[in-house]
Amino acid sequence: MKSALSLAVIVSVSVRTSPSPFMATSNNNQVPNGEEEVITNSSRHDESDHHPHQELLLSLPKGYGWGVEDLYYFQGFWCPDNRVEAVIALQRDFEAHDTDTIIATVPRSGTLWLKSMAFAIVNRTRYPYQGDLSHLNFTNIQSPRLLSTHLPYPSLPESIKNNNTNCRIVYLCRNPKDNFISLWHFLNKRSLAKRTIDATNDHTPAQLPLEEALDLFCNGVSMFGPFWDHVLGYWKASLERPETMLFLKYEDIKKHPKSHLKRLAEFLGHPFSVEEESEGVMEEILSLCSFEHLRNLDVNKYGQGTLSFGNKIFFRKAEVGDWKNYFTPAMAERLDCIIEEKLRGSGLVFQNSLD
């Protein structure tokens, strides 16, 4: 295949967690072996920033953090304490480039999947297939930058949202019931990993029962939530500025992956040529970016980011409708009613299955 992206490049789009609200998968300073460089370097500020930060935290509403860490209500959303200072630094210092692409998601909505597809689309002609490309130096990857965030739309830096930049935003969301189940599993795995590492600490949080987690979610208390505010912020922005904002749903991509990959490529300014389509480039990218392929990469099976748990916990089922294996009818009705009320009049609806 003449122009398809190689396996080695896809390996570089692995997961990493950090206190920063922004991460990069393609820029001038990419870290090799799949590690993503933190864009916002709030650590550069001196210790004098520490006390104002603590004072700010004390002034914020505090919520139970799903058995992992406490959450603070800041700028209309819930986030861990180490994200608050990072968000402030990001809003103060970040300058968007016209060639930037921002991948924005609610946590546990297919973030890595979308990042992989976007990276493959933008870079597919840079790295033609040549067999083993493990010798390539990924530290010199140039613009365009591919950045990712879970921040709600109102909290993005102004340089991204104003009309003075052609910076693109691609947003991906998921049915709230599947999103909730995936988040619940993920955070319980994090909690388990933390207890395993810190077994002598009696204060290490226990796993959170499903019913308690649903109570929190339905009250809007979730990572970067409320869920409905997060999706509505980007949904409304996509209606107001469709030329620079693309709104995608997880279920739609799962049902029609090829047409949505083509749509994404056109939005990013890298459409597939007739020759590429005939040569099967789209099919190759979809295969390289598939859940099974990404999950089985060594960097995701055995690698570890900046926190104590391995990358493998970022991968579970990637199924649509798995919520049916956990929700009682009453639980489903409760969340459905809340979502219907919150989204009423917006035109935004979610699928419960691929049928």
How far is 179 from 71, CA to CA, in rounded Å?
Answer: 18
pLDDT in tens, 1-34: 444 443 333 333 433 444 456 665 644 333 223 3
**Token pair listed for 62:** 């505090």
Select the more confidently predicted residue: 26 or 211: 211
Q: What is the pLDDT of residue 190?
A: 64
Beta bridge partners of 247: 171
How far is 82 from 307, CA to CA, in rounded Å?
Answer: 13
Q: What is the pLDDT of residue 334?
A: 96
Of the pLDDT bands very low, low, confident and very high (cuts 50, 70, 90), residue 110 is confident
- Residue 257: asked if its preceding bond is cis (omega within 30°), the reply is no
Annotation says 293 is catalytic:
no
Distance between first and last Cα of the chain: 34
How would you class 196 by CB atoms within 10 Å of its CB: exposed for 0-12, middle for 13-18, buried for 19 or more?
A: exposed
In the chain, where are the structural domains located?
96-126+142-343
CATH architecture of 96-126+142-343: 3-Layer(aba) Sandwich (3.40)
CA proximity to 220, closest of 17, 24, 73 = 73
In the chain, the amino acid numbered 247 is F
Beta bridge partners of 102: 147, 169
Are 297 and 33 a contacting pair, CB within 8 Å? no
CA proximity to 310, closest of 230, 169, 192, 176 = 192
Neighbouring residues of 295: CB distance < 8 A, sequence distance ≥ 6:
301, 312, 315
Are 326 and 210 a contacting pair, CB within 8 Å? yes
SS3 355: coil
Given a cut of 80, whether residue 147 has pLDDT beyond it is yes
Beta bridge partners of 104: 149, 171
Catalytic residue among 53, 97, 150, 185: 150
How far is 97 from 273, CA to CA, in rounded Å?
Answer: 26
How would you class 11 by CB atoms within 10 Å of its CB: exposed for 0-12, middle for 13-18, buried for 19 or more?
A: buried
pLDDT in tens, 275-333: 999 888 889 888 888 767 676 665 555 455 555 555 555 655 667 788 899 999 999 99
pLDDT in tens, 216-231: 999 999 989 899 999 9
